[in-house]
Amino acid sequence: MLSLIMHTTAIRLYTGLLSLLMTGFVLGCQSSPPVTEGYPHQQALQGKTLQQVLACAGPPLQKRENDTVTMLRYYREAPILEESMVSSKGSRPTVHHGCWATVILHDQRVDHVRYHFVPSSMDASNDCEEIFANCRK
């Protein structure tokens, strides 16, 4: 009888842990939606021409064109010094992060800009904003 109770308890514990593990796995695979507004440099790009964006942000890592739509993809990682946290006995590493910026142009003018933070759990907007720092002029 005692072995049956221990066996049943072990199965319940195993099932509970498996459920918890699977839930964590599923949630870990989800990404947050892109940030489409709210940052000054992001908003300053609205209405700029393709040539103006290339002049202030430089060449993108990726450029795709399809009829009247052009997509530019930029990526910027955080500087190395930003990725370490000073503590009383030196420094310790923090999460490596960066930001993907996607600029969508319709008829050669910026229609919208999206930021995707890497990792999605961290606000890396300053990395994307830095890509377009020269575009506010």
pLDDT in tens, the chain (137 residues): 656 665 566 555 444 443 433 434 433 444 555 555 568 888 889 999 999 999 999 999 999 999 999 999 999 988 765 544 555 555 555 666 789 999 999 999 999 999 998 887 777 788 889 999 998 76
Interatomic CA distance for residues 137 and 69, integer angstroms: 25
Q: Which domain holds residue 16?
A: 1-30
- Give me the pLDDT at residue 30, please: 43
Neighbours of 15 (CB within 10 A): 10
Cα 135 off chain centre by: 21
Q: Phi and psi at residue 70, in whole multiples of 5°?
A: -125, 135
pTM: 0.64
Residues 56, 121, single domain; the answer is: yes
Residues 42, 54, single domain; the answer is: yes
Strand residue runs (E) in 17-83: 62-66, 69-77
Tokens linked to 45:
């790009």
Interatomic CA distance for residues 54 and 124, integer angstroms: 22
**Cα radius of gyration rounded to whole Å, the chain:** 23
- Give me the pLDDT at residue 78, please: 80
Residues pairing with 84 in the sheet = 93
Q: What H or E segment, with its residue span, contains residue 104?
A: strand 98-106
The number of C-alpha atoms within 13 Å of 79 and in the hemisphere containing its C-beta is: 5
- Give me the pLDDT at residue 69, please: 96
- Give me the pLDDT at residue 94, please: 60
- Give me the pLDDT at residue 21, please: 39
Residues 39, 22, single domain; the answer is: no
Residues 79, 19, single domain; the answer is: no
Residues 68, 23, single domain; the answer is: no
Interatomic CA distance for residues 137 and 40, integer angstroms: 12
Residues 81, 130, single domain; the answer is: yes
Number of domains composing the chain: 2
